[in-house]
């Protein structure tokens, strides 16, 4: 890849990261109501999403015993008549560990060992390291699905949004709105939930109408994982960027 092309690629990635910056907070807020309500109400039985309360309580209860998750994913970022689509496989484990193996359109690896977040781009031989606590990356808050975290953040409002269209007629679609002070960061979040309380689709729309969308397929709970899959040693000639 020549220098101008490489600069264009990096500029595109920076734009995507800027667009995704607030999604982490949005995901934290999305999961917070379920976690807080379950902590206050004790055992919550999973049931059909006949009401918002049933959805959030059932969602939390269904993940109480989950230690790992594995799924195929498609990630789509849409901005100003341009769309970037990437896909691969993701594994989440308790302790802040995750591994996103991107396969298309190019190979790359996003990894967290619970302390540090790594982004490895083989085509550029570039590794970026960021402390987990300082990362605003879109993928990091999904670790809450395999963690017991008691949060007090919440959206200002959560409602059904089935008119937004579900991939499966049995799914329910929820729309969540930001709290005051966050409405300049994102407009709303759509979450499609299956009858088993798996997140099939998650879409964040920003004030400038750009969108970040994840879809998940073949979700496996408590899949066997090896501790070694959450570590990565770059080749000797790699460029390492410490953030």
d(CA 61, CA 78): 33
Whole-model pTM?
A: 0.72
| Terminal-residue alpha carbon distance, the chain | 24
d(CA 186, CA 57): 25
Say which CATH number the domain at 76 has: 2.50.20.10
* Domain extent for 141: 3-242
pLDDT per position as a tens digit, 75-85: 999 998 899 99
pLDDT per position as a tens digit, 216-232: 999 999 989 998 999 99
d(CA 183, CA 177): 8
Find all residues with CB under 8 Å of 226, minimum gap 6, and list them.
none
Sites in the chain below the pLDDT cut of 70: 1-48, 134-154
d(CA 171, CA 95): 29
Cis check for the bond before 105: say yes or no (omega within 30 of 0).
yes
Domains held by the chain: number: 1
């Amino acid at each position: 890849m020549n220098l101008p092309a490489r600069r264009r690629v990096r500029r595109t990635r920076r734009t995507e990261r800027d667009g995704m910056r607030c999604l982490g907070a949005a995901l934290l807020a999305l999961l917070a109501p379920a976690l807080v309500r379950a902590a206050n109400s004790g055992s919550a039985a999973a049931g059909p999403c006949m009401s918002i309360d049933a959805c959030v309580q059932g969602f939390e209860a269904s993940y109480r015993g989950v230690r790992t998750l594995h799924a195929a994913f498609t990630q789509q970022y849409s901005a100003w008549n341009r769309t970037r689509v990437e896909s691969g496989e993701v594994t989440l484990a308790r302790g802040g560990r995750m591994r996103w193996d991107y396969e298309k359109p190019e190979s790359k690896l996003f990894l967290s060992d619970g302390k540090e977040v790594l982004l490895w781009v083989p085509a550029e031989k570039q590794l970026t390291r960021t402390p987990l606590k300082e990362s605003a990356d879109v993928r990091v808050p999904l670790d809450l699905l395999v963690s017991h975290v008691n949060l007090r953040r919440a959206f200002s409002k959560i409602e059904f949004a089935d008119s937004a269209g579900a991939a499966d007629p049995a799914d329910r679609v929820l729309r969540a709105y930001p709290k005051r002070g966050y409405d300049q960061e994102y407009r709303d979040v759509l979450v499609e939930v299956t009858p088993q309380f798996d997140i099939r689709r998650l879409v964040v729309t920003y004030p400038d109408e750009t969108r970040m969308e994840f879809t998940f397929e073949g979700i496996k709970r408590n899949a066997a994982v090896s501790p070694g899959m959450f570590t990565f040693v770059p080749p000797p000639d790699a460029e390492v960027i410490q953030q």
